[in-house]
Structure 1
Amino acid sequence: MSLLLHTYGLVRPALFRMDAEKAHEFTLHWLEKVHQVAASLISQELLLPTKLMGLDLKNPVGLAAGLDKNGAHIDALGALGFGFVEVGTVTPLAQSGNPKPRLFRLPAKQCLINRFGFNNEGLDQFIHNVQQSQWRKNGGTLGLNIGKNAATPIENATEDYLKGLDGVYAHADYVTVNISSPNTQNLRALQGENELIQLLGALNTRRAELQEQQGRYVPIAVKIAPDLDSAQIDSIATAVQQCQIDGIIATNTTLSRDYVINQPNAHEQGGLSGPAVHELSLRVIQRLRQQLGTDYPIIGVGGISSGVQAVEKIQAGANAIQLYTGLIYQGPLLIRDCVDAIQNQTR
């Protein structure tokens, strides 16, 4: 395994002295450059074959959407050892997102607050970037995450999601419908049972048409919030089954600030990620598993910063997990820690 993967702890202090969003962009571009020069410098192969939504994963530890919004660094990120990679969220039209600054560290709690607002270069550029990557061609599993433009009225949201599905279908191993970002006005209203059935039903119908046209079935997952009560979770469980949706990603960031009271930046608006979300997502996963039975695919995400927490997600009912904020604080060796812990737990 590359020595570069062991050096993150040495460079992190320098990164944390930078503006958070600039550090994010710098790290992605650095990974890309190193990968282009010599992929072996950052690559680690972690094998724990896993089935998810009918897909064959190299291992059950994935990259959550949001780290690579434009799908411009898929190969470099995949080389870190992920069993599957999810990129986006992409919207039909390019949009700049919310004003900067919009990403804030809470290092004492190893958390982040972001209010990016689906900043991305739009569907056409996203698809171009995905087509340039070699990850899928080399056997990697790729999820593409779709959302709606901020300027699109919530009552017309379905049109944006259908445009997204049309665009990404041919290039995805699975498609994620993001209805849970707290940073696009009214987006979480789509998690209501009636709204969700309307949206997911339309996507399932369009998926059937695309399957007929392209001769391949692409699973659809829906990403939900941690800030849901039991009745809301139960409604979502009903909707995904009724609309033949293949999986749920639980969960996105939280609006709660209970975990970070009195911390610098805790007052900033946006979604809180990191350890603050772990227990919240466990509760959602456990409830979903109760409602959906033993076989329905669930991806657990939120607050995983150790192999122990990865195992807790699996024990709660998740079939696979995704990482984001934990990578920022722990570095890429977290991926191996999670794979090893899950492997030991299943022995």
Structure 2
Amino acid sequence: MYKTFRPLIYKLTPEQAHHTTIWMLQMAGWFSPATALVRAMYRARKNGPSVECMGLNFPNPVGMAAGYDKDGLGWRGLAALGFGHIEVGTITPKAQPGNPKPRVFRLVEDEGVINRMGFPNNGADFLAGKIKHARGNGFILGVNIGKNKITPNESAIDDYLLLTRKFAPLADYLAINVSSPNTPGLRELQSRKALQDLLQPLSAEIATAGHAIGRKVPMVVKLAPDMTDEELDGALDVIMSCGMDGVIISNTTTQRPQLRSSLANETGGLSGRPLKDLNTAMVRKVVTRTAGKLPVIASGGIIEPQDAQEKIDAGASLVQVYTGLIYTGPELVRDILNYGLK
């Protein structure tokens, strides 16, 4: 069905299409007949398989990656599509507009997207208001947190601490974004010392928050796919020594592997099918280097069900989709679950 309407959707700019689908998900979530219709159209034939990961019970392995629903507007509609977890954000303490437009580009020939959004969002208070009743609705809720563009790296910890305090009571888990290529200098926080200086106080803060609310709130770190082996080893050492609960592999890439689209040289992070092999290799590398002791959420290049199985085979516990929805449609979640991940 989606493929029938896809040419019309592609007549909109990528951001227009995005805002339209968010609005549709809002409507689907607010009106119970619409919610029931979405469930009937897109729910998988069978539930699960459920996944025990990071002390949480995920109803199925398929999640909505951060970046789609930055402000927590469409979580009800996304839940109706059958996602096992939904990661909202990336959110920053203060609202910010992001980078100048145009900043999102469809690479249709490559089934990819280049974006240089720069964390546009309505700020932490806005998101908190939107998701205050989201937990406990049949899916796991993650909140992806980042620093404001105007915050220097030396003060980044203040932004992350503020967001940890604010969202620990509202989320099932928190994701630390230090890997977007579209906020100047952000990836420098992945270096061993910078990451240590960030994660040590965050680890203490999330433990304090968990004690206060009476439940553990897992914390994961989202890494870039463009790290050298030495950089990755350093980051993993810090992540494990600081007691983080997992990693998301990965953010978008700045590499441009044999792209056919005329938009291939646009600045920004590349996602979709061109990221798939790089992402899977990184998943396998992380699983090997941590001896399988660190849960991995694989996010990158899942366009069809077999791609999701490939991530699981590489050692991922969970998968996330985003760009695949642009090319396959909302039925991607159903198709992955009906495929039967093993």
Which TM-score bucket, shorter chain as reference?
A: over 0.9
- d(CA) in 1 for partners of 2:25 and 2:206? 34
What is the one-letter code of the residue matched to 1:274? G
What RMSD over aligned residues (CA atoms) do the two structures have, in Å? 1.2
2:150 is aligned with 1:151: yes
Give the share of equivalent positions with the same residue, in percent. 41
What is the one-letter code of the residue matched to 1:41? L
What is the one-letter code of the residue matched to 1:71? G
Shift of residue 47 of structure 1?
A: 2.4
What is the one-letter code of the residue matched to 2:285? R
What is the one-letter code of the residue matched to 2:86? V
What does residue 3 of structure 1 align with?
Answer: none
Shift of residue 234 of structure 1?
A: 1.2
- d(CA) in 2 for partners of 1:101 and 1:149? 20
2:173 is aligned with 1:179: no
Aligned residues: 335
What does residue 31 of structure 1 align with?
Answer: 25
2:3 is aligned with 1:12: no
SS of residue matched to 2:63 = strand
Kept in 1: contact 2:48–2:61 (CA 8 A): no
What does residue 131 of structure 2 align with?
Answer: 130
What does residue 299 of structure 2 align with?
Answer: 301
2:304 is aligned with 1:310: no
What aligned pairs does 1:71-220 form with structure 2 within 5 A after superposition? 71-133=72-134, 136-220=135-219
What does residue 41 of structure 1 align with?
Answer: 37
1:263-285, Cα deviation, whole Å (9 max, x unpaired) = 22112111111011111111211
Shift of residue 60 of structure 1?
A: 0.3
- d(CA) in 2 for partners of 1:220 and 1:310? 23
SS of residue matched to 2:100 = coil
Pairing partner for 1:280 from 269, 278, 296: 278
- d(CA) in 1 for partners of 2:28 and 2:174? 29
SS of residue matched to 1:252 = coil
Kept in 2: contact 1:63–1:323 (CA 8 A): yes
Kept in 2: contact 1:223–1:250 (CA 8 A): yes
Kept in 2: contact 1:111–1:272 (CA 8 A): yes
- d(CA) in 2 for partners of 1:76 and 1:204? 32
1:198-236, Cα deviation, whole Å (9 max, x unpaired) = 111110011122122222210000000111121111112
2:338 is aligned with 1:337: no
- d(CA) in 2 for partners of 1:244 and 1:341? 34
- d(CA) in 1 for partners of 2:211 and 2:25? 39
- d(CA) in 2 for partners of 1:280 and 1:342? 24
- d(CA) in 2 for partners of 1:34 and 1:214? 32
Kept in 2: contact 1:35–1:41 (CA 8 A): no
Unaligned ranges ≥5, structure 2 = none
